[in-house]
Structure 1
Amino acid sequence: MTSRNAVIFHGTGGSPGILWFPWLGRQLTARGYDVDIPHYPGINVDPVDDLVPTILAGHRFDRDTVLVGHSGGAALLLALLEDLDVTVARAILVAGYCTEPNTEREPVLRKGYDWSRIRAHVRDLYFVNSTNDPYGCDDGQGRAMFDRLGGTLIVREEGHFGDHDQPYPTFELVDRLIG
């Protein structure tokens, strides 16, 4: 019998010990999940196609896997889902985006996506975006992904859901979405 597992990806310039990531990890561990919150400093620094094989080799992905990504980590999930060879249980993209959200270089994005392949590799897909995201990872980006992939779009007015100037130690919504 396989156990449920979750992989939580930080965003650009982030790390596993910030924001709501440790709290969510503890919540899921208490419910019996095997939780991995890896540190990938190359997110949105290295080309996504160089990073994805390392991630695929470094984690377990199966029908009971839950993926959570924040900002650049959410954008990373698009490429990861496209390249998986299994269908995972759930993916939650928080402050995610599929096109350049601002004037910064975005190596985490692919020039194009096979949207049907992405959709085929996840049973439940959630986009959590904000109307007032200061980096452009806003509800318009959430709508763009939702229009291509379906799933559930949740729009809040909560900035970037955590950043250096926005304390965000817990995130009950994401915890509830995982169940």
Structure 2
Amino acid sequence: MPRTAIIVHGTGGHPDNVWYPWLAERLTARGYVVHRPHLPALNVEPVAVTVPRVLDAYAFDGDTVLVGHSGGAALLLALLEHTPAPVAQAVLVAGYSTPPNDAEEPVLQASYDWERIAANAGDLVLVNAVRDPYGCDAAQGRAILERVGGTQVVRRDDGHFGDGDQPYPTFPLLDRLVL
């Protein structure tokens, strides 16, 4: 049975932006079944509304790899807490678990069951930059790492790893990090 990858865009994003289509093509070539859901209400509606919708739409099991960017990475934390089964891997790019700036963050839960997240995350990889214009920086990744474990990769000058003013059409590091 092939592995499944679910690539979740960030706040205000779209599955056809930045490196998401490129990574989907790379993973498809490796035999993955890839989903790139469009979640226009991500980080607009409460996470308690988004999580059941995503859990109902996709299978989460030992053959699933999750990749989330920014608000999508924050959503993955909630999904990992509530998924009925552990996944093979979770890759959080520019992820965060506390408000990274002064914007509203309805994608965040008030608290997390870190032990459950750790038990469900499989091979957890956090990718952050030293400096991120939105505050989703290496310190945010480190805070998750200290609670859950895993591996953190810190890039010096990669900012937010793609955004409206930061073209980021490919992401070779992710192709190497995904199982």
- For the residues of structure 2 that align with 1:74 and 1:123, how far apart are their CA atoms? 15
1:176 aligned partner: 176
- 1:3 offset after TM fit, Å? 1.7
- 1:60 offset after TM fit, Å? 1.5
1:27 aligned partner: 26
The 5 Å alignment of 1:25-174 reads: 25-157=24-156, 158-174=158-174
Unaligned runs of 5+ in 2: none
Q: TM-score, normalised by structure 1?
A: 0.98
Deviations, residues 10-51 of structure 1 (Å, cap 9, x unaligned): 000000000000000000001110000010011100000111
Amino-acid identity (%): 61
Runs (4+) off by over 2 Å: none
- 1:122 offset after TM fit, Å? 1.8
- For the residues of structure 2 that align with 1:124 and 1:50, how far apart are their CA atoms? 27
Amino acid at match of 1:135: Y
2:14 aligned partner: 15
* CA RMSD in angstroms, aligned pairs only: 0.6
1:6 aligned partner: 5
Q: TM-score, normalised by structure 2?
A: 0.98
